[in-house]
């Protein structure tokens, strides 16, 4: 039978060990908050003010109109107007511009004659994401230009138009997508590291042997070590949530309770994994590196920055093991989509399973590796 007061005593000791050192206290609060602030502002896929150079060999008003549309867009900033072919290469190579827009000589003439006129876009492909996104913006501008041209000049064009609306994130702010993700990311990092290091630190300091001499059973030690990670994780979650809503204007359209249920289940899974690592690692170095080996794939495959749907099928199966994957759906679902418990059930139970399995495994490993 488990002795609750003993477990609580162990938990209290864990907290003291964590918080006694001033550096330790600072490092649990300050860096995550700073990270949230910096990355919340930095991590964005929206391109703003992409430096563009324009090479306009045409004299007509149509080309000027098109250029005006490009420079008027918030996504682009025309930093240079070039007059000669050989100016292109240095600008792109040296990364002074991401894109060069080249309008041929007879652009306006072609348009008036009803012949296709060409616009050449030269892009720096070193960052393929930005290149693709910039291309997409340019295509949209061109699309509007073409459509206007057809509608005003041609009597025969079918007057079909696309009316696009975006749900949940009406203005398509990538910040609304990424900041909730950062919340999951930071919780994962802190909870995992705190738990992963807990046993290893004691092993290195020799105090683990002292723990073994106490009346505490292995399962009680496990629970006592799991609780601080859970509580700290919960506090961090609340802090990060408060900052996200207050500073980044992230909406909270859904059920807060549903979010917190997700937080608890997520932390359970993370703490379970952390304890598994902690039971295997003999030194703190091994514990941190082990945590790392779990962290990096967990972050990359979670859908934090790139969609799981785009991954190869085999890799998608792997993501089912990643608790962060489910948590991100929950956090984005509650914040942006207004989800409540019923819409999130499919995210809750996998995390519960991962938590139970990892905690049981940790307990089993604990007994094996104790001596």
Which of the residues 279 through 308 are near other proteins (CB under 8 A)? Answer: 283-286, 288-290, 292-293, 296-297, 300-301, 305-307
Encoded tokens for 29: 């609060």
- Considering only 12, 57, 61, 120, the residue that binds other proteins (CB under 8 A) is 120
Minimal distance in Å, beta carbon 257 to other proteins?
Answer: 20
Residue with token string 């918030």: 74
Residue with token string 């104790």: 370
Site for other proteins in 123-182 (CB under 8 A): 123-133, 135-136, 138-140, 142-143, 145-146, 149-150, 154, 156-170, 172-174, 176-177
Taking residues 73 to 112 in sequence order and writing x for each that binds other proteins by CB under 8 A, - otherwise, the string is: -------------------xxxx--x------------x-
d(CA 168, CA 329): 13
C-beta closer to other proteins: residue 189 or 226: 189
C-beta closer to other proteins: residue 76 or 366: 76
Site for other proteins in 14-33 (CB under 8 A): 21, 23-24, 27-28, 31-32
Site for other proteins in 35-54 (CB under 8 A): 35, 38-39, 41-51
Minimal distance in Å, beta carbon 351 to other proteins?
Answer: 17
- Considering only 9, 337, 352, 357, the residue that binds other proteins (CB under 8 A) is 337
Crossing angle of helices 174-205 and 256-280, in 10° steps, is: 30
Site for other proteins in 225-284 (CB under 8 A): 283-284
d(CA 367, CA 359): 13
Give the chain's largest Cα–Cα span: 93
Minimal distance in Å, beta carbon 180 to other proteins?
Answer: 9
Strand order of the β-sheet with 50-56 is: 76-81, 50-56, 99-103
C-beta closer to other proteins: residue 5 or 166: 166
CB neighbours (10 Å) of residue 172? 11
d(CA 123, CA 131): 6
Torsion sign (Cα): 307, 311, 317, 319: negative
Q: Are 276 and 361 in contact (CB under 8 A)?
A: yes
Encoded tokens for 14: 């864990």
Q: Are 219 and 284 in contact (CB under 8 A)?
A: no
Minimal distance in Å, beta carbon 213 to other proteins?
Answer: 23
C-beta closer to other proteins: residue 183 or 355: 183
Minimal distance in Å, beta carbon 154 to other proteins?
Answer: 8
Minimal distance in Å, beta carbon 289 to other proteins?
Answer: 4
Minimal distance in Å, beta carbon 133 to other proteins?
Answer: 7
C-beta closer to other proteins: residue 148 or 360: 148
C-beta closer to other proteins: residue 186 or 363: 186
Minimal distance in Å, beta carbon 20 to other proteins?
Answer: 12
φ and ψ at residue 114, rounded to 5 degrees: 80, 15
Q: Are 266 and 184 in contact (CB under 8 A)?
A: yes
d(CA 302, CA 311): 11
CB neighbours (10 Å) of residue 317? 10
- Considering only 57, 118, 214, 360, the residue that binds other proteins (CB under 8 A) is 118
Minimal distance in Å, beta carbon 365 to other proteins?
Answer: 17
C-beta closer to other proteins: residue 133 or 245: 133
Site for other proteins in 180-199 (CB under 8 A): 189-190, 193, 197
Listed ranges 2-10, 114-122, 211-219, 245-253: which one lies at the site for other proteins (CB under 8 A): 114-122
CA separation, residue 60 to residues 104, 109, 110 (Å)? 11, 8, 11
Residues that contact other proteins, how many (by CB under 8 A) = 113
Q: Which residues contact 135 (CB under 8 A, 6 or more apart)?
A: 121, 123
Crossing angle of helices 4-20 and 174-205, in 10° steps, is: 100
d(CA 301, CA 320): 10
């Amino acid at each position: 039978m488990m002795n609750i007061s003993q477990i609580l005593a162990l938990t209290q000791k864990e907290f003291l060990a964590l918080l006694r050192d001033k550096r330790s206290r600072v490092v649990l609060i300050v860096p995550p908050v700073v990270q949230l602030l910096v990355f919340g502002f930095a991590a964005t896929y929206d391109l703003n003010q992409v430096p563009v150079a324009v090479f306009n060999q045409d004299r007509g008003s149509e080309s000027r109109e098109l250029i005006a549309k490009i420079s008027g867009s918030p996504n682009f900033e025309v930093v240079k107007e070039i007059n000669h072919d050989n100016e292109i290469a240095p600008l792109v190579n040296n990364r002074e511009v991401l894109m060069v827009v080249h309008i041929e000589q007879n652009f306006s003439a072609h348009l008036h004659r009803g012949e296709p006129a060409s616009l050449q876009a030269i892009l720096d492909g070193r960052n393929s994401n930005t290149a693709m996104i910039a291309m997409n913006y340019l295509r949209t501008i061109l699309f509007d230009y073409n459509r206007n041209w057809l509608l005003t000049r041609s009597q025969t064009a079918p007057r079909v138009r696309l009316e696009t609306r975006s749900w949940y994130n009406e203005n398509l702010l990538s910040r609304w997508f990424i900041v909730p993700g950062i919340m999951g990311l930071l919780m994962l990092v802190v909870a995992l590291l705190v738990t992963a290091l807990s046993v290893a630190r004691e092993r290195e300091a020799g105090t683990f042997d002292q723990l073994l001499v106490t009346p505490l059973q292995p399962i009680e030690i496990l629970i006592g070590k799991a609780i601080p990670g859970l509580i700290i994780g919960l506090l961090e979650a609340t802090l990060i949530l408060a900052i996200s809503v207050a500073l980044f204007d992230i909406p909270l359209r859904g059920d807060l309770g549903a979010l917190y249920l997700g937080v608890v289940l997520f932390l359970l899974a993370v703490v379970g994994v952390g304890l598994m690592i902690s039971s295997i690692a003999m030194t703190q170095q091994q514990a941190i590196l082990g945590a790392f080996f779990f962290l990096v794939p967990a972050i990359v495959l979670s859908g934090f920055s790139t969609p799981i749907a785009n991954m190869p099928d085999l890799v998608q199966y792997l993501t089912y093991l990643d608790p962060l994957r489910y948590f991100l759906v929950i956090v984005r679902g509650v914040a942006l989509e207004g989800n409540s418990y019923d819409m999130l059930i499919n995210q809750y139970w996998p995390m519960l399973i991962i938590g139970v399995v990892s905690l049981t495994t940790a307990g089993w490993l604990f007994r094996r590796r104790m001596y």
